[in-house]
Amino acid sequence: MKRVALYLRVSTLDQHPETQLHDLRAMAAQRNLEVVREYVDHGISGTRVRRPGLDEMMRDARRGQFDGVLVWAFDRLARSVKHFLEVLDELSRLNVEFVSFRENVDTGGPLGRAMITILGAISELERSLIVERVRAGMRRARLEGRRLGRPPVTVDRDALVRDRALGHSLTQLSKTYQISRASVVRLLKPCNTQGVVA
């Protein structure tokens, strides 16, 4: 008999996980699975990567305390494809199977594994398309003569050097001239006589 964990999440405090729990317990009984632990995140959005119940479940998965995870639906585990695939990838590395009640996906079988691979490929394609769109937008902006990034800041270097000689700290100079400490250090170097911070 395989040991499984149930993961349940409800977004608001007035929602109750009993419906999810009933369906998952019934599925476990039907498949002759032993439920060793139930993890619940109550009143927590699926967009949050850090969740007490999910974090505890992943810790226990790393300790080998169960062989599979049952969830009611994909969106109970994660709302973003990226986070969903990260969790599935870690479970897969730990040899922990993943089963979703609503989508009827089981990574223990070849069809479920294929579906996860397809989801991963779609996610990778989406990332590539976003990168390409950003590059195309930057290329177009350059062709139109628009400057990319922050405009350069001109600082009175002589005044900065004078204030440093008077004993002002790097932090004080950073606040006074409204530039980062790293920029202050760069401007104080003898080779930098321009006084321009990119």
Strands (E) across the chain are located at 3-10, 34-42, 68-71, 97-100, 105-106, 153-154, 196-197
Annotated catalytic residue within 11, 92, 123, 174: 11
Residue 163: burial class (beta carbons within 10 Å; 0-12, 13-18, 19+): middle
- Assess whether 11 carries a catalytic annotation: yes
- Please count the CA atoms within 13 angstroms of the CA of 5 that sit on its side-chain side: 26
**Residue carrying structure tokens 């400057």:** 147
Burial of 146: CB neighbours in 10 Å, binned 0-12, 13-18, 19+: exposed
Residues taking part in catalysis: 11
